[in-house]
């Protein structure tokens, strides 16, 4: 499927008329992007796959009500669905951590001397650090750097202002830098 917004809109029109091939083309075009959005935010690959499927089921149900807005792409709308699906997932799958566990994590005995790190290991560390950021900041970083969306598209997908997107991105990068300097 061509990646321009006109061909996507054409596939949407055909999908609304019941063309299953068009639904398949939309899925093929966007499924990996949506999956990548989830894979670093949940514990297992299976959860990421399930959430991806959930997004596309919601997309199918909502497709008749979808209207293209000026300056907003279909992918921004789809990532908005993904973001709300992730928030619902977090709400229903909260972990309860005991205070003893938190105390053990803060133990000074866990401090160690810095060790030279390979690039793969460093990437994994950054991924773990990103998971420590607030959900909104994680989403902004993902949409900005992985999906290469503009601040305007991110703002539409997250239903916030462009300034909020820029502030969250700045704060996230600043916090990551601080955390990396500690390691």
Are 1-93 and 118-183 in the same CATH fold? no
106 CB-near residues (< 8 Å, 6+ apart)? none
The pLDDT, as a whole number, for residue 115 is 47
pLDDT at 114 over 80: no
**146-172 burial string, b = 16+ CB within 10 Å, else e?**
ebebebebbbbbbeeeeebbeebbeeb
pTM for the model:
0.65
Show me where the domains of the chain are located: 1-93, 118-183
Range from 41-50, 105-114, 133-142, 174-183 carrying the lowest mean pLDDT: 105-114
**Fold that domain 1-93 belongs to in CATH:** Rna Polymerase Sigma Factor; Chain: A (1.10.1740)
pLDDT in tens, 120-170: 777 788 888 888 999 899 999 988 888 888 899 899 888 899 999 999 999
pLDDT in tens, 57-87: 999 999 888 887 766 788 889 999 999 999 9
Residue in this structure with the two tokens 């202002």, named with its chain if needed: 161
> In this structure, which CATH number among 1.10.10.10, 3.40.50.150, 3.40.50.300, 1.20.58.1000 belongs to the domain 118-183?
1.10.10.10
Q: What angle is formed at CA 41 by the lines to CA 40 and CA 45, rounded to 5 degrees? A: 65
156 CB-near residues (< 8 Å, 6+ apart)? 69, 71, 72, 76, 77, 80
């Amino acid at each position: 499927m061509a990646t321009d917004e006109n061909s996507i809109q054409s596939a949407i029109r055909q999908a609304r008329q019941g063309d299953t091939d068009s639904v398949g083309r939309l899925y093929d075009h966007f499924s990996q992007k949506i999956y990548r959005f989830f894979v670093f935010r949940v514990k297992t690959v299976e959860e990421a796959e399930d959430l991806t499927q959930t997004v596309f089921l919601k997309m199918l149900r909502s497709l008749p009500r979808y209207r293209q807005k000026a300056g907003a792409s279909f992918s921004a709308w789809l990532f908005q669905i993904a973001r709300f699906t992730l928030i619902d997932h977090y709400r229903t799958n909260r972990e309860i951590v005991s205070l003893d566990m938190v105390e053990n994590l803060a133990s000074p005995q866990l401090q160690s001397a810095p060790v030279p790190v390979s690039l793969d290991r460093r990437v994994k560390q950054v991924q773990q650090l990103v998971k420590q950021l607030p959900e909104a900041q994680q989403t902004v970083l993902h949409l900005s750097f992985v999906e290469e969306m503009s601040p305007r598209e991110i703002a539409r997908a997250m239903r916030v202002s462009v300034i909020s997107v820029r502030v969250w991105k700045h704060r996230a990068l600043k916090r990551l830098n601080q955390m990396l300097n500690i390691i």
